[in-house]
Structure 1
Amino acid sequence: MESTNTLGLIAGALTTVAFIPQVVKIWKSKHTLDISLGMFAIFSVGVFLWLLYGIQLGALPLILSNSITLVLSLTILFFKLKYK
């Protein structure tokens, strides 16, 4: 594996894993008052576009990290709407 792909996989893993504590906290507390609906909606669209970009490039680090980040981001959006 190229060092560029390794770097991308590490960066993607770290930025993706960063969302897990937020998802767990919301799931346990059912509290989303301080979460911005607009920010997460815009962020989710951006992550989706990064995913499409990664698919077009065939860049595994972009595809993996953005696929997982999109699921986590959409989970936060779902909780935001569910626990209004």
Structure 2
Amino acid sequence: MLKEEIRKLLIKDHKKEIERERKKLAYFEDWEVLYFKQEVLEYLKRAKSEKIVDLSRVKRLLLSLLAIEQRMKESSGGTK
């Protein structure tokens, strides 16, 4: 979903926040996480079309998306 260089920078700079978000996702079923991912992607699309963008909100959404992707990779048997 995210460009690889942006992904690496976000993970490097916000590792603790992503880990905290990922731990919260551990309590949800896979289908709920997939639904949440779709919601996050929809919010990001909407933010992209807005004239005035709340960058802190976009950052939180991107961090949530990274946490979701890590959670999904983990539940499918991939590494953390």
TM-score scaled by structure 1?
Answer: 0.55
Which one has the largest radius of gyration? Answer: 1
2:35 equivalent among 28, 38, 42: 42
Q: Which runs of 5+ in 2 are unaligned?
A: 1-16
Question: Secondary structure of 1:46's partner?
Answer: helix
Amino acid at match of 1:38: W
Q: Which runs of 5+ in 1 are unaligned?
A: 1-15, 24-31
Matches for 1:20-59 after TM superposition, within 5 Å: 20=22, 22=23, 35-57=28-50, 58-59=53-54
In structure 2, the partner of 1:4 is: none
1:61 shift after superposition: 2.2
RMSD of aligned Cα (Å): 2.5
CA distance in 1, matches of 2:43, 2:56: 11
Give the helix-richer structure, 1 or 2. Answer: 1
1:41 shift after superposition: 0.6
